[in-house]
Structure 1
Amino acid sequence: MHRSLGRRPAAHLALLVLLALPAAHANAELLLNEVLYDPEGADEGSEFVELWNPDTVAISLLGIVVESGDGARPGVWTPVYVGAGGDSVQPRRAFLIAGTSLLAPLQNGPDALRLSRDGVVLDLLGYGALTARELFEGAPAADAASGQSLARAEDGVDTRWNAADWAPEPSPTPGRANHPDARLSIVRGSARLVPDVPWPGEVAFLRATVKNLGRREVAATRWRAEVAMRAGDGPGSEWSAAPVAIGPGATLAPGESAGVQCTLFPPGPGPFGLRLILRDLGEPPGASGSGLADTVTLLSRSTAGPLVVNEIAFRDRGAGEWIELIARDDLADVGLFALSDAGGHAYPIDRGAAPRAASAGEIFVVAQSPGLVRGAFSLPDSAVLGCLGGWGALNDTDGEDGFADRVRVIDPRGAPSDVVPYRAGYTARDGSLERLGATLPSAAPSSWAESIDPRAGTPGRPNSIQAPGKSPGGRGGLLYASARVVRRVPGSPVAPVALRFSEEARGSRIRVFVHDLLGRARRLLVDGQRVLGEGAFFWDGRDDQGAPVPAGIYVVRAETIPDDGEPARSGALALAVVDGRTR
């Protein structure tokens, strides 16, 4: 889209007088080499133009002018860069004109760029559906999609035919050669922490896709992925000097991609940063400029907060989709937070004209249709908010990754406050998905259960199923329960018992069985998983085949699986399965 130049300082434009440039080319000493005119998100400051010096000596930028041509108005050229006498381009190197140095915005296609020195055209690039011959060489290049750059097919080689010399590049390389012999790059947007918001003690994985943008094969022994960590986000926080995780490289042919994975343990609760680094193992220590070096930084946090997902209605039962949130800390304004789904577009919470504070422990709902939710559940206006600009529709069918969708709460820094992945099978009766406890890991399936409330959801109210809170005193017990009765009433959802691991279970591999009074195992609830942090689960009175067990008394038995000769430990709780209501 063409944009107005009115916001540019008038002094800049007054100093730049357009020259009537002749059509003839000089011998191209400098060339246009790459341009990003339509970056993802806001354009200002993110656009760039890259020049290339194909010579064996440095070339001065004195007298160099880069202009933008308007495809809709041939003959109109706007200066976007004027070279200074003290600047030069090193031999066979790129020179980056960053967005902050551009005098005017670049135009999306069909448009053109022209490079000249002292009134003589050195290079011309036209892109998109152009017809005016003054705007391109030979034939115009293809128009690049948003987020892609236009890059010269071979650095420093100009055949005077834009369509052959230029092509869209999905992974822009500002300030670097487009196609060196060796170049590895982290594919934009591919780096992700799994789970997005880990808990202390959980194992997390930093995953990304790496692509070979060079012209030669890169051996697996030539590179590896390293992760640096920074706890906190204040000015005094520093990156770890040594890697906290390392992932091996893979042999990559030109144009080939491969996934890398680094295993790490998150720090204590709070925000932290991760820096994924491609390390060139063929470069001596301290060397710079390697074509195999690339870096990406992620913002995350350990333990969800300060705003946490507490309930999700991803199936529309007549009131639309909605998400219940709980504040773990005092918040000055919930309007500084945003919601998104797995698609990634974040919609700010609509808190109204004035800031809307939330006290620690306060529950409120953000809905696709706030009025419908208020009416369906008899909630006051203040308890149900909406989103500005739209709603990230929540999927109810599992995708290729096995999940239906992810609910994301984005904090004012743009980092995740909470992220909850869910599967369609988490609910069987189209009820909402309730969190068993705000301190339980967001990504653990056992932290969630389908609502047993008669209205299939509890927005703005305590959840119908909750894990027990703080572990009772004493030592030796591996489990504790929210109640001791599984109640089954005809025509109503089963009221299960929620169980939680105690501090005594931390660090151990645990099995949890349900036995009847004859000692027969009826249900395996936990099969040898190691308890690394908070953890909860529930029993709904069914056996391993999914059939309801007869009413009666049952024993939930937890036992550790010893490591390195340590003694086994066990504990048991008696639960009752009751049919019908009791008076």
Structure 2
Amino acid sequence: MDRPIVAEVFYDATGDDTGHEFVELLNPSATPCSLVGLRLEAGDGAAPGRWTLRWTGTAADSIAGSGRFVIGGSLVLPPPGATVTLDLQNGPDAVRLVWPDGVTEVVGYGTLAYTEYFCGEPAADAPSGQCLARVPDRSNQGSNALDFRASPPSPGRENLSEREAELIPGSLALEPEQPEPEHGARLSGRVANRGASPLSAGEISVKGTLADDSSASEIFSHAIPAAIAAGESAAFAVETGPLAPGKRTLRVQIALAGGAPAGNDRDSLRIRVGAGPLAVTEIQFHPGAGEGEWVEVKNRDALPLDIAGFRLSDRGASHGVPAGGSGALAPDSLALLAQDRAALLSRFAGLDSARVWQVKPWAALNNSNDSTGIADAVVLREADGTPCERVPYSASGVPSGVPLELREGEWRPSRAPLGTPLAPPLTLAPLATRFEMTPRRLRAGAGVARLKWSLPWERARVSIEVYDLAGRRVRRALPESDSAARGESDWSVEGLPPGLYLVALLARAETGNQALRETAAFRIVGAAP
């Protein structure tokens, strides 16, 4: 009787193996075969007799004539016939089939000292990301070394067929990730030649379909103009054309000329065209008062939003899940996503705790710019991965401890020293002069002055310095920072002895060569602490 045989073993995925391992069985007979009572065992080649049961076939398990049956983890695609955690060793080790009548088949890999762990000679250990597969597909020469070799994983499909193309999982990307309505985007990805023969330019085509809950429409079809050698891959890029606003799934499928559809020929992206329902309005990326990092968001949808249904990340981290707040966020209302909810509520005692959410894991926002002039990005997604908001930010000119806030359509340092969590940006009253300091008489050790300015330019670089009567600079009240025309900052005289001082505002227009200098005198009174 021709029994099903082991056709493929995948035991060492790139990265974490969990959920990715599988063993594929092939039925060489045209007659279906029941797998009831069949045992799959894993062998530890370090010592004799170390076999561990991993799976037993049930009455529901069978393999079609000339078919395949995959036993594997929950992340194997297409889904396996039997889902099980295999926990296979990365070598030198083995797998074994044991039939109810005692007949066994062993596949061993790596340098093995005990003959019970291999047939003939063991197969060479496969590198990470590769499987051991019978090549040619039904090779059965009585030796693991002759029958099995490293090959790209192909669960449920022919091993190293002459012609096979794969859309590499996870390679799809849309730029911009969240296009404006009626604008196009650029979709990129990679395809691989998983067959034994080279593929000519134009033999692989890629098709994109945009789908929502009620309809689907093809938005592009593109022949990939690259020739691809066996085992190699090639990038592709396609312009989508204008896209209508909304939340959809972009389904991408490749086709190989003359080839049959395969399970590795498709992938998808959750996309959004236009603004999402939740907007970022304030970012505290370098806190100075022990409150931890935080991000303020606003519901710009017409309906209440469940904050727990969103995810927060920076431009590279895994997405953090909000918890700890309560209730839906009403339209036009604000909420806070916090690194440390308890610390934030302690620092700002008047906050509505129902609208403050702890996010784990936290994104760890960067405090300094990279070579592109960007420090980091705050990224919001819905739980299903649909983009909602992406805000790249620059740390240039932002004083330590001061958040960035969205004000008049631009990201600017907050006018309030600690920001305005769960409140709109601070509105500053007009000034009668270019520069004011209040009060002008301060007590030594603990006095705090408010420095205010009103400039003749829309944007400027501003610094404020303090001098004694000998003209020596004794303090920098405000390091050079980016500022709007109207700004304010609090400054403590702590550490300065009693006496008369001069405070000087230095400002340079953001564009052009214009600059100004304004001064004000003040006195520190009382005994130095």
**TM-score of Structure 1 vs Structure 2, range by shorter chain:** 0.5 to 0.7
Query: What per-residue deviation string (whole Å, max 9, x for no partner) do you get for residues 260-305 of structure 1?
Result: 112224644331110112133x33xxxx615797110111212232
- Give 1:47 deviation, angstroms: 5.9
The aligned residue for residue 519 of structure 1 is none
Indicate whether 1:156 and 2:156 are aligned. no
The aligned residue for residue 386 of structure 1 is 358
Q: Any stretches of 5+ residues in structure 1 without a counterpart?
A: 1-25, 438-446, 467-482, 499-539, 552-577
The aligned residue for residue 300 of structure 2 is 328
Contact 2:163 2:194 in 1 (8 A): yes
CA distance in 2, matches of 1:263, 1:153: 40
Query: What per-residue deviation string (whole Å, max 9, x for no partner) do you get for residues 381-431 of structure 1?
Result: 61432123x3222345667998654432232333222233x2656655455
Contact 1:307 1:328 in 2 (8 A): yes
Indicate whether 1:542 and 2:514 are aligned. no
1:363 is aligned, of 334, 341, 350, to 334
Q: SS at 1:343's partner residue? A: coil
Overall identity of the aligned pairs, in %:
24
The aligned residue for residue 218 of structure 1 is 199
AA in 1 matched with 2:510: R
Indicate whether 1:461 and 2:423 are aligned. yes
2:484 is aligned, of 492, 496, 499, to 496
Contact 1:142 1:163 in 2 (8 A): no
Contact 1:326 1:361 in 2 (8 A): yes
Q: Pick the structure with more strand per residue.
A: 2
Indicate whether 1:58 and 2:19 are aligned. no
The aligned residue for residue 81 of structure 2 is 101
The aligned residue for residue 263 of structure 1 is 239
AA in 2 matched with 1:542: E
2:388 is aligned, of 385, 397, 417, to 417
Query: What per-residue deviation string (whole Å, max 9, x for no partner) do you get for residues 44-96 of structure 1?
Result: 7x76432235x5x6253235735133649824434343587974242xx6544
Query: What per-residue deviation string (whole Å, max 9, x for no partner) do you get for residues 209-251 of structure 1?
Result: 2222222221222123221111x3x3xx2221x3336363322
CA distance in 1, matches of 2:369, 2:384: 30
Matched positions, count: 438
- Give 1:358 deviation, angstroms: 0.7
Contact 1:365 1:384 in 2 (8 A): yes
Indicate whether 1:305 and 2:276 are aligned. yes
Change (3 A) 1:490 1:375: farther
The residue correspondences of 1:398-437 to structure 2 (distance < 5 A) are 404-420=375-391, 422=392, 424=394, 429=399, 431-436=402-407
Change (3 A) 1:347 1:550: closer
CA distance in 2, matches of 1:263, 1:549: 44
AA in 1 matched with 2:148: D
- Give 1:350 deviation, angstroms: 1.5
Moved more, 69-78 or 257-266: 69-78
CA distance in 2, matches of 1:152, 1:191: 28
- Give 1:458 deviation, angstroms: 3.7
- Give 1:29 deviation, angstroms: 6.1
1:249 is aligned, of 220, 225, 239, to 225
Contact 1:452 1:495 in 2 (8 A): no
CA distance in 1, matches of 2:374, 2:110: 39
AA in 1 matched with 2:514: V
Q: SS at 2:421's partner residue? A: coil
CA distance in 1, matches of 2:163, 2:427: 56
Query: What per-residue deviation string (whole Å, max 9, x for no partner) do you get for residues 342-384 of structure 1?
Result: 33522210125xx432111111221222344445555526143
- Radius of gyration: which is bigger? 2
Change (3 A) 1:397 1:550: closer
TM-score for the superposition, normalised by structure 1: 0.62
Contact 2:187 2:237 in 1 (8 A): yes
TM-score for the superposition, normalised by structure 2: 0.68
Change (3 A) 1:225 1:400: farther
Pairwise CA RMSD: 4.4
The aligned residue for residue 165 of structure 1 is 148
